[in-house]
A and B are shown apart, each in its own frame.
Chain A
Amino acid sequence: MGTYIVRRILQMILVLLIVTIIVFLMIRLLPGDPILMYLTSSDLEEITQEQVDAIRHDLGLDRPLFVQYFDWIGNVITGDLGNSIIHRGKVGDDIKRRLPITLHLGGLAFIISIVIGIPMGVIAAVRRGTWLDNILTSLGNLGITIPVFWLGILLIYAFGLKLDWLPVFGYTSPFKDFALNTQQIILPVFCLAVPPIASAVRLTRSSMLEVMRQDYVRTAWSKGLRERAVIMKHALKNGLIPVVTLKGMTLAAIVGGSVLVETVFSIPGMGRLAVEGLFSQDYAVVQGVILVASIVVLVTNLLIDLSYGWLDPRVRYG
C-alpha cells in the first residue's frame, strides 16, 4: 500500500505539471497578444507603441517561453496568480474569497450524490424489474438529461416566485447567518446534485446487476445468507469499483456545473468569477480559476484513488 500511495502521488505531481503547462500555454500561444493579460484594450489605445514595448520588456514577455513559464510557475507556487486588469487587485485574493463558496456548494452536492445516488442504484438493482426499479431508473435517465441551468430557473419560478418559500438569489456566509445561508443554498445545491445523483444511480445499478450474476454471489446465496448479508458484504464492495472511478469524474462535472448554477442563482462563487473574467477579457482571472479548479479536482481524485486501493486489493499489489 505504501508504494502504491507514493506512486500515485508522484503520478499526480506529473499530471499537475502538465496541467500547469497547458494552462500557461493556453494564454501564451493562442491568438492574441499576451500583453492583453496586463492591459485593457482601452489602455492600448491611449499609449504609444514604445510604451507598450517598454511594458512588455518590464514584464519579461520578450524572453523565451520556457523562462517565462518558470517565472510564472514560481509565482504560482507562492500563491501569486497575477493581477486582474480590471480592478488591478490580485487574482489570488479574488479566488481565495470565492473558492470557499464553490467548495461549500459543490462539496455538499458531491456528498449528497454519494449518499443518495449509490443506495438508490443498489435498491434499483436488487429490486430489478419492479415498479421501484422502473421509477429509480427513469429518474436516473431524466437526471442526466435535464440542463442544470433550466432546472434552476424552474425551481426559482416554483419555489421562489410562485410559492415564495425560499430566497432565490445570492449567498450569505454561513458564519454570518446560518439560517439564511441554508435557505439560500437549498436550490442551488439540489441543482448541482441532480446530474451526479443520476449518473451514480445508473452506473451503480448496472454494475451491481453485473456483480450479482457472479459465481461468488451465487455461492453466498446458496450458503443460505440473508439478502442483506449477500448484498452488503459480498456484492457491494465489488459493485462499487466502477462507481468510485465515476466519482472522480463527477467532481470535475460539478465544478463545471457550478459555472451555470452560480450564474442562475447569482452566487458569487468561482464559476461565476470565470464567466465575469471571460466577459471583461480579464484573462489572468480565467487562467487562475481554471488552474485552481483543476488542482482541486486532481487532489480529490488522488484521495478517491487511494480509497479505490482500499476497495480493490488488486490495485494495492498490482
Chain B
Amino acid sequence: MDKEKSTVSEEAKQSLEFSEAPPRVNALRRFLKVFLGRPVVVIGAFIILVLLILAIIPGWIAPYDPNKQDLSIVLLQPNAEHLLGTDALGRDLLSRIIFGARTAVMVGVVALGIAAISGMILGLIAGYFGGITYAIIMRFIDALMAFPVMLLALAIAALLGGGLVNVMIAIGVGMMSGYARVMCGQALSVKENDYVLAARSSGASNIRIMFRHVLPNCFPPMIVLMTMMIGMTILFEAGLSFLGIGITEPTVAWGSLVNDGYKYLLTHPLLSTAPGVAIIVVVYAFNMVGDGLRDAIDPRLRGTF
C-alpha cells in the first residue's frame, strides 16, 4: 500500500518536473555541464580514451613485442631502454602492460554485454508479464545472486575449459543478476504508463510493446548501471587471470602479470605492482565516469546502486 503511494508521488514529481523542464537542447547542455563539471570525471574520460587507443593499436605504441623473450636481459631493473624493466624471460614489462589493455577492454566489454543483454531481457520479461513469470525468473535470479561471482565464474571456467571466450561468458553469467533486478524494477513501473496502455489499445503485440515502448524508457538507469559496472567487470577479469583461470599465454592480462611478478617481489617489486597500478587507474577512471554519468543523467539514482 505504502509502496503504491510512493510510486504515485514519484510519478507526480516526475510529471511536475517534466512540465517545468526546459527544452531538449538545454537538457543536453545541462547534461554536459554536470558531466564535464568535475575535473575528476574529465580526467577519467581522458584515461578511458587512452585505454581504448592502447587496446586498439597496442603494437604501434608498445616499444617491444610483449612476448619476445631474450634470456640475455632477464629481470632487468628499470632503465632507459626498458622503462619498467624486464621479466624473468627478458620480456619488456611496459610493452606487456600496454598489450594487457587489449585483454582488459575486450573481456570487460564483451562480459558486460553478455551480462547486460541477458539480464535486461530476463528482467524485462519478468517485470512486464508479472505474476508467475515474474516469480519464476526472479527466484532464478535470487539463486544466481547467492553464488559468489568469483566462484561461479571459476566453476563455469572450469567446466567450459580455458580460453578468453569462456572467461567472458563466465563473468557475464556471474554478473547478470544485478541487471535483471534493476531492469525488472524499471519495467514494473514503466509498464503502468499511459503510453503503454495506448500502444496496447492500438493493437500492439506484447513483444512490440516490450521492445518499442517499455525497453527504451528503462534505458537511462541501465546505461548508468553498465558504466558503473565496467570497472567491476575489469576487476573480475583481473582476479580470474591472477588465479590463472582461462587466460593463458600468449595472451597478456594484467592479473596474470601481477601473479607472474609475485615470485620476484622481494628483488623486483615493480613486476607485480606496476600492472596492478594499471588496473587501479583504469578501474578508477571507469568508476568516476560512471558516477559522473549517473549525476548527469539522473541524480535520483544515487541511492540505487
Residue from A141, A150, A203, A298 in contact with B287 in the complex, judged by beta carbons closer than 8 Å: A141
A interface list, Cβ under 8 A from B: 11, 14-16, 18-19, 22, 26-27, 30-32, 141-142, 144-150, 153-154, 156-157, 161, 203, 206-207, 209-210, 242, 249, 252-253, 255-257, 259-260, 263-264, 271, 274-275, 278-279, 281, 283, 286-287, 289-290, 293-294, 297-298, 301, 314, 318
Given A154-B273, A157-B269, A260-B243 contact (CB < 8 Å): yes
Interface of A is mostly: helix
CB atoms of B142 and A147 under 8 A apart: no
Residue from A32, A260, A298 in contact with B159 in the complex, judged by beta carbons closer than 8 Å: A32
Residue from B2, B142, B265 in contact with A156 in the complex, judged by beta carbons closer than 8 Å: B265
Q: How far is the CA of A275 from the CA of B60 in the complex (A)?
A: 37
B interface list, Cβ under 8 A from A: 1-3, 139-140, 142-152, 154-161, 231-232, 235, 238-239, 242-245, 255, 258-259, 262, 265-266, 269, 272-273, 276, 279-280, 283-284, 287-288, 291, 302-304
Given A147-B255, A153-B276, A242-B303 contact (CB < 8 Å): yes
CB atoms of A290 and B155 under 8 A apart: yes
Given A161-B266, A252-B146, A301-B146, A149-B258 contact (CB < 8 Å): yes
With a cutoff of 8 Å between Cβ atoms, the chain A residues found around residue B280 in the complex are 142, 145-147, 150
| CB nearest neighbor in B for A294 | B146
| Shortest beta-carbon contacts, A-B, top 10 | A256-B150, A256-B148, A150-B276, A18-B143, A294-B146, A30-B159, A255-B148, A206-B302, A252-B148, A145-B284
| CB nearest neighbor in B for A154 | B273
| CB nearest neighbor in A for B305 | A203
Interface of B is mostly: helix
Q: How far is the CA of A290 from the CA of B273 in the complex (A)?
A: 31
Q: How far is the CA of A252 from the CA of B151 in the complex (A)?
A: 9
Excluding A260-B243, A290-B147, 19 further A-B contacts by CB distance (< 8 Å) are A16-B143, A18-B139, A27-B159, A30-B159, A31-B159, A142-B280, A147-B238, A147-B283, A153-B258, A156-B265, A242-B304, A249-B145, A256-B151, A278-B245, A283-B159, A293-B148, A294-B146, A294-B148, A314-B3
With a cutoff of 8 Å between Cβ atoms, the chain A residues found around residue B159 in the complex are 26-27, 30-32, 283
Q: How far is the CA of A260 from the CA of B148 in the complex (A)?
A: 12
| Max chain A Cβ within 10 angstroms of own Cβ: one of B152, B258, B291, B304 | B152
